Each structure stands twice: as C-alpha cells, then as structure tokens.
Chain A
Amino acid sequence: MMTRRLTAVGLPAALFVVLALVPLYAGVFDDRFVLLFATRILIFAIVAVSLDFILGYGEMVSFGHAAYIGLGAYAVGILAEHDVWAAWISFPLAMAVCALFALVTGAISLRTRGVYFIMITLAFGQMAYYTTTSLSAYGGDDGLTMWGRSELFGTGLFNGDTSFYYIVFGVLLASYLILKVMTRSRFGRVLEGAKQNEARMEAIGIDPYRYRLTAFVLAGTIAGLAGALMANQAEFVSPAYMSWHRSGELIVMVILGGMGHLHGAILGAIAYMVLEETLSGYTEHWRLIFGPLLILIVLYGKGGLLGAIRGR
C-alpha cells in the first residue's frame, strides 16, 4: 500500500524532473536535436494525457482524437495567414473551436457504446480531415506554412528553443495536474463508476451521459491547445495532423504507457516516439519491427510500461 502510494506520486514527479532537465542536457552537450525532438514528444504527450482522461477513466475509445490537434493547429495557422500572431487571440480561439467540435460530435457519439463509438469518432475525425484537405485557400492537401511563430505579449518566448520547450512543458504539467485532480474529484468518481457499471450508476440516480460529454469536451480542448503548440513547433500546418493513423498512434501511446494513470500516457508518448525515431534510423522498413514489438508489449506487459515498472 505504502510503496504503491510512493510510485503513484514518486514516478510522475521523477518523470517531470527529468523532463525539466532536458534543456540543461541539450545545452551542456550542445544537442539542439534532442531539445527539438523532446519538444515534439511533449506536445504529443499532452494529447495522449487528454486521451487517457477519457479512454482510461471513462472508457471512451475515441478514434478521432487527432482531429483536435489539426483543428487547434489550423486555428493558429489560418490566423497567422491573416497576420494575427497574438497567442492570446489564437490559442483561446483554437481551444474554443475544439471545444465546440467536441461538444457537437461528442453529443452524438456518446449516444453509442463500444465499437460504434470507435467508428463514429473515427468518422467525425475523417470529416475534419477531408474538410481541411479541401481548404484550397489555406494550402489544401499541401498544408499551410507559417512564416513565424505566435507572439506572447511581445516576449518572443515562442521563438527560443529553450523557452518554447518550457512553454510546452508547462502546458503538459498543468494539463496533467488539472486532469489528475479531476480524476479524484466527485466528477472523476462518476466517470470511473460509469465505466464499472452503468446500470448501477443510473440506479443511484446518475445519468453518466452529461459527465462523459463534459470529460470529452475537456479532453478535446486540451488536445486543441496541443495542436496550437504543434503549429508553432513545426511552423507548418497540414491535414496529416489529423489523419486516422495519428488517432491510432495516440491510442497506442496510451495503451503502451499503461492507461488510467495519466502519467502512463506521457511514458507511452515518449516510448512510442523514441522507438519510432530509433528504429527508423536503422531501416526504412522499421514498421515491420515496430508493429510486432508493440503487440508483444501490449500482450505481455499487462498494464503497459507502468505495469512493467510496478513489477506486476
């Protein structure tokens, strides 16, 4: 019991300390690539954490979660195209667009369960994807190049590698903490209870639908914020951000790391992207190794990487 509590607090704490030190490492070893790569990983980690919130705690297997990355990124990209660079305008707007998209699609999707929910979220994700490919004014299929980064009250913080890394780190930490607190609240109990036995929840007078929808919108909004960061990181926005492959990768990250703990999703995002990067350095057929490896981890490492760390 005591050791369990220790890993529940100690592990995420250690994880964040390590992540906070990445720029230091990059500075000492003059390794810019590591810093840029880590920035990209953390952006995906934000999305994975938001997905774990609904998948791990609410059993909502959204197969369209990448759509929010794309929508958030496009909000920033399109505004930049019209010469609006202020982050205090573009970031809230990106989040609002995603919240609205999540509210509308979630209200419909959450009427279904199981495989149907997976299929319908996939369909909505693809709808968003094809909508952006047809946005010819903003690059269509080819995507949209941004000629700079968002501006935070004239500070230029988005432009420096290290400062941008800490912005992303801060967003990840805040998202993690807020969602973690929520999972332990009355709201979180309802989400988890509904996952365990929906009939019991209704019998005590709780209709889980509104709570699931709230969680779904919250997760979409956070993923949209990550999308806004992604646009800045790549200085480029493209429909590929929201392809269904991407949604699938996000699910794999959550399961790989160990779902239902939030920090597992961070571990999963790191492991997934590092593995991908390493293997693709050896051979262009890296997916042939990557695929079976993932299957083995999911099959034998019960509870994902977190489960393996806990030694269960």
Chain B
Amino acid sequence: MTVSEAAPILELQGLNKSYGALHVTKDVSLTVRRGEIHALIGPNGAGKTTLIGQISGSIAPNSGAIVFAGEDVSSLGVAQRARKGLGRSFQITAILPAFSVLENVALAVQAKDGHSFRFFKRASSDAELNNRAKVYLEMVGMTARAGLRAGDLSHGEKRVLEVAIALAGGPKLMLLDEPMAGTGPEETERLVTVLHGLKAKIPMLLIEHDMSAVFQLADRISVLVYGEIIASGAPEDIRRDPAVREAYLGGESDL
C-alpha cells in the first residue's frame, strides 16, 4: 500500500460546536480510510446530526478542521463539498418525489457533468444522461423500477434510490445518515447487501442505529456520547469495551 492510498479520505481534526452553553461537539477527531466502512454510533442526543451537518457543510464548527481527500474543505458550502466528491443520504429520505426513479439518478449524473445551463436539449431523451443513470440503478438492483415515480416507491426502495443517487455523483466518500431508519427486515438486508458490494469501491461513513447492520458492515466503529468520541476501533474491540457497554450499549444489549 502506497502512502497516498493509506491516507485517510476524511479527517476530522478537533471539531467543536456549541449552541450557547450546550457543547454538542467536543473535540471530535475521526478518520475514514480509503476502502473502509467506518460506522459512527451513539445514543439519541449524542450529537450525530450536528456532526453530520459539519461534515456535509450545512453547519460551521466553532473550531477544528475537516480535511476531505487531502484538502481542507472547512470553509466550503454543501454544494461545493458535494462537487468535491462527498455523496450522502439523509436521515429523512431526500429524493425528488415527482420525478421518476431514472430522472432522480439522471439529475445526479447531470450535476456531476458540471453546470446545467443547457436550455434546449430535452433531458428525458438525453441518452448520455440516461445510460449512465441506468448503470447506477443496475448497481443497486433497481433497474426494473426505473420508470416509476420516485414518490410511489416503498420506503425501503426510496432508501436504496438515495444510495443510487449518491453513487451517481461518483463520490470519493459516502456519508450515510441512518440509511436503515424505518426499513423492514428484508429491506434492511437488501441495503446491507448493496452497501457491502460497494465497500471495496467507495469508503463510507455510516451513521446507523441498527446494530446488526453496523456489525455486519463496519471495519471500524466510533462511539459518540454527549458530543465526545469515547471509543474508536475494530468492531470486536468496541463490543468488548467496558466504557461503551456502560455508556451506550447498556446491560440489556446482546452484542
């Protein structure tokens, strides 16, 4: 492995964020390496959402830096970071419901092409867009649903579509915010399979409550409690970590 390959794709350096007296992110440092799924877990109110906001660019940290693909992106906005290769899914499904499944992905392909000041060619018959979009639908196994209105998909399929949209941007890292939230067992299994298949190609930062999914997928796990990372390491170490058990997993959890 060369040095550049070993370099982390994402590096959070001492992030801090407070709202008044409430210190929601306390000196958080974390790395996501190329080729790994790094899971971030933590109980409700641990500050995961605020942390994601800071990584994606919608919330500015009070101090600290975010280095993405070797570049300090701390001062960039959401769209700029996305163009640098930060793909994401949202905790609350964010698709374009009135567009078809194919159109949702085609729009992400279009975004990757650069500016969209193209006024006259009909987008729906733009083979260049559609063919590339179909590749991503194929990757997540949604080819059969291409023509459906995205708003009519089942909840689980919407979550898969979000992954396809993120993929279409050709991301260097995917930030997945509770992709399994609200999905049934079969849908969860499907998502796990999809993400597992992508793992070699695209590193991911996975925020997830579903512990079985986390332990199936993650190469490393970090535990966020009250805005602080209390443990970080391989799944087996996290499972055994007494502080984690105490603070988060609790006695009743059968990890």
| Chain A residues within 8 Å of B, Cβ to Cβ | 181-182, 184-190, 192-193, 196-197, 199-207, 211, 214
Contact = CB atoms under 8 A, between A and B. Distances in A.
Contact residues on B (Cβ < 8 Å of other chain), bracket: 35 or more
B165 A189 contact: no
A106 to B, nearest CB: 16
Contact of B121 (A185, A196, A202): A185
Contacts of B56: 203
A299 B103 CA distance: 31
Contacts of B90: 199-200, 203
Nearest to A207: B79
21 contacts: A181-B122, A185-B120, A185-B122, A186-B126, A187-B119, A188-B123, A189-B110, A193-B99, A196-B97, A200-B95, A200-B96, A201-B79, A203-B56, A203-B78, A203-B82, A204-B87, A204-B107, A204-B111, A205-B82, A206-B79, A211-B117
Given A193-B99, A203-B82, A206-B111, A184 B124 contact: yes
Contact of A205 (B79, B94, B95): B79
Nearest to A190: B116
A197 B96 contact: yes
B77 interface: yes
Given A205-B82, A205-B112, A200 B118 contact: no
A294 B155 CA distance: 38
B110 A186 contact: yes
A203 B118 CA distance: 20
Closest 10 CB pairs of A and B: A205-B82, A205-B83, A207-B79, A202-B78, A200-B94, A204-B111, A186-B118, A196-B96, A204-B108, A186-B116
A199 B106 CA distance: 17
B88 A203 contact: yes
B101 to A, nearest CB: 14
A189 B116 contact: yes
A258 to B, nearest CB: 15
A202 B119 contact: no
Interface centre among A185, A199, A211 (most CB of B within 10 A): A185
B98 interface: yes
Contacts of A204: 82, 87, 107-108, 111-112, 165, 168-169
Nearest to B85: A205
A98 B71 CA distance: 42
Nearest to A260: B98
A185 B94 CA distance: 22
Given A181-B119, A214-B117, A202 B95 contact: no
A182 to B, nearest CB: 5
A202 B82 contact: yes
B123 A186 contact: yes
A186 B79 contact: no
A187 B98 contact: no
Contacts of A202: 77-79, 82
Given A182-B120, A185-B121, A205-B82, A197 B95 contact: yes
A186 B121 contact: yes
B181 to A, nearest CB: 16
A62 to B, nearest CB: 20
Nearest to B168: A204
Contacts of A200: 90, 94-96, 165
A185 B95 contact: no
B107 A193 contact: yes
Contact of A192 (B82, B98, B169): B98
Contact of A206 (B98, B106, B116, B119): B116
A193 B98 CA distance: 9
Contact of B123 (A189, A197, A203, A207): A189
Given A196-B96, A205-B79, A187 B122 contact: no
Contacts of A184: 122-124
A196 B117 contact: no
A280 B168 CA distance: 57
Interface centre among A187, A189, A201, A203 (most CB of B within 10 A): A203
Contacts of B126: 186
A185 B90 CA distance: 27
Contacts of A185: 118-123
A111 to B, nearest CB: 14
Contacts of B87: 203-204
A185 B124 CA distance: 8
Nearest to B126: A186
B94 A197 contact: yes
A189 B98 CA distance: 11
A268 B213 CA distance: 54
Given A196-B97, A203-B56, A203-B90, A182 B79 contact: no
A198 B124 CA distance: 21
Nearest to B103: A189
A75 B95 CA distance: 45
B110 to A, nearest CB: 5
A188 B99 CA distance: 12
A5 B108 CA distance: 26
